[in-house]
Amino acid sequence: MSQAPSCLDAIWQSTRSELFLFDPDSLRCVAANPAALRQTGYAEEALASLQLPVLAPLAPPLDGPDRAATLRRADGSSYPATLRLLSTHGEGRTLLLLMAEDAALQQVQARFDAIVSHTPGLVYQFRQHADGRVAFPYLSEGCQALLGLPAAQLHAEPERFLQLVLAEDRPSYLESMRASAASLWSWNWEGRIWIDAWKDVKWINLRSTPHRLADGAVQWEGIMTNITESKLEQMEVRASRARLAELTAHSEKVKEQERTRIAREIHDDLGGNLTAIKMALAMLAARLPEEPALHQKAAYVDELVDRTIDAAHRITLDLRPSILDFGLVAALEWQVKEFASQAGLACSFQSSEPEVALDADSATALFRIVQEALTNIAKHAQASRVSVRLAPTRQHIALKITDNGKGIGPADRGKPASFGLRGMAERARALNGTLTLSHAPGGGTVVAIKIPRPRDTISGQEVAVTR
């Protein structure tokens, strides 16, 4: 069987049209393209005995207009087609080229083309052969607009697509393709390509479905879309969130510093003044005449000073507990005891290490998260038991606050005024960590915080405090 002349090589394999070449003298078929063999069902060996009148009883005149006629299949059935007969030259001789378009397929193709033409992006077929060669059997008209290359050029040079992908994004592209080919799962990849025609970088998203062909090749059908605008918006949103988180972390740091300053001033100045007032009052009371009303008044003022000293001490602890100067473990142990006393709940605290090496800001942030979590439990959980566990590992510091209350639902997390939960999450995020909420076994809520741990050599030891 003769091959197609070189002038037809470019379209012979890929065109959807059925192409037959006939000897003008004997009218015997000398070649047929893959589309013709598929549609008619003829084997290549059988074409040598196939004559034009047998295949197309009503063949159109040579170099005449298209004609509606029928083509006969190898099994004797026939189908309507639009035919055109042309003269061409190949292998040093004149040949007859019969071009056929299945009428039903033409209608289907017209509908398909209409859908594809209105689809944003590039509809394509991509094939990877067993030997690693690649091909694009089909490319829609969106190829030029998306990739800056005409479809014909990418057909001829399919390896050009990988060259378009930025070097730093190629490993992920190839890895995702290999994974999809191995598992025959959907291929979903996004990355950057360089458009030489416009000297610009685009973000594209590639979504396609694979299937294995009879020869072992894997073929994907899917669509590529330009996601540059949405990707840039996402990046701007992430950058904005990062800046906001940085600002929030800075605000919290400044707030804690201001709290520390105010607590120190209350303790040093106000506390010192109140102590001096109490001492002076005691000296004055000792010199009062024996008059019950005056002594009663002095006792009242002394009691008022004591209450003011207690209030100053309480405010100082609320602003910044001085126990934090003794480390995070000691501070959490004290806080859990205080909460148990104030809320009247059974509370326990455990730490797998006697102390955790953290800078003051990180220790304060974790302490505030526990404070807020305990406050939420007292307000909303209706719990009778609370446990706080600090469990540092070699890489992370994990902290869990568990209660046996009514639990927290999705609606509670999304409340517009749920600033407590948001504040806890932002504090954890500022420490490059995470905060998660989950249901406790048997009911209740687990608040889990996990942050990266600085390198230290503290050995593990468990401390337990139970009320």
**Letter for the amino acid at 206?**
L
- Are 282 and 350 in the same domain? no
CATH number at residue 204: 3.30.450.20
Exposed / middle / buried, residue 176 (Cβ in 10 Å: 0-12, 13-18, 19+):
middle
What's 62's DSSP letter?
A: B
> What is the pLDDT at residue 321?
75
- Are 288 and 399 in the same domain? no
Picking from 75, 102, 129, the residue at the C-terminal end of a domain is: 102
> What is the pLDDT at residue 202?
94
- Report if residue 153 sits inside a domain: yes
Cα angle 234, 236, 238 (rounded to 5 degrees) comes to 70
- Are 211 and 130 in the same domain? yes
Picking from 206, 226, 246, the residue at the C-terminal end of a domain is: 226
Contact between 67 and 37 (Cβ < 8 Å): no
Scanning 73-211, the segments in alpha helix (DSSP H) are 103-117, 142-147, 151-156, 160-164, 170-183
> What is the pLDDT at residue 413?
59
- Report if residue 68 sits inside a domain: yes
Picking from 102, 131, 151, the residue at the C-terminal end of a domain is: 102
- Report if residue 423 sits inside a domain: yes
- Report if residue 110 sits inside a domain: no
- Are 460 and 329 in the same domain? yes
Q: E strand or H helix at 284, and its extent?
A: helix 271-286
CA gap 211, 409 in Å, rounded: 43
What's 5's DSSP letter?
A: P
> What is the pLDDT at residue 459?
40
Residues found in the chain: 467
CA gap 171, 149 in Å, rounded: 23
pLDDT digits (tens, 9 = 90+) for 277-307: 888 888 888 888 888 888 888 888 888 888 8
**Letter for the amino acid at 115?**
I
- Are 290 and 187 in the same domain? no
- Parallel, antiparallel, or unpaired: how do β-strands 67-72 and 187-195 relate? unpaired
Q: How many CB atoms lie within 10 A of CB 385?
A: 13
> What is the pLDDT at residue 1?
46
Q: Strand (E) positions, 16-141?
A: 18-22, 29-32, 67-72, 78-90, 93-102, 122-128, 134-139
Tokens of 366: 């974790």
Contact between 356 and 390 (Cβ < 8 Å): yes
Contact between 101 and 36 (Cβ < 8 Å): no
Query: Greatest CA span in the chain, whole angstroms?
Result: 148
- Report if residue 461 sits inside a domain: yes
> What is the pLDDT at residue 2?
45
Decide: helix, strand or coil at residue 228.
Answer: helix
Decide: helix, strand or coil at residue 99.
Answer: strand
- Report if residue 341 sits inside a domain: yes
- Are 352 and 414 in the same domain? yes
- Are 407 and 338 in the same domain? yes
- Are 309 and 340 in the same domain? no
- Are 377 and 248 in the same domain? no
> What is the pLDDT at residue 235?
85
- Report if residue 114 sits inside a domain: no
The domain in which residue 384 lies consists of 323-466
Contact between 302 and 278 (Cβ < 8 Å): yes
Number of domains composing the chain: 4
Give the DSSP letter string of 378-412.
IIII--SEEEEEEEE-SSEEEEEEEE-SS---HHH
Decide: helix, strand or coil at residue 351.
Answer: strand
- Are 297 and 344 in the same domain? no
Q: Which of the residues in the chain have pLDDT under 70? A: 1-11, 91, 103-119, 410-419, 455-467
- Report if residue 278 sits inside a domain: yes
- Are 257 and 369 in the same domain? no
- Are 340 and 426 in the same domain? yes
Strands of 385-392's sheet in order across: 434-439, 445-452, 396-403, 385-392, 346-351, 463-466
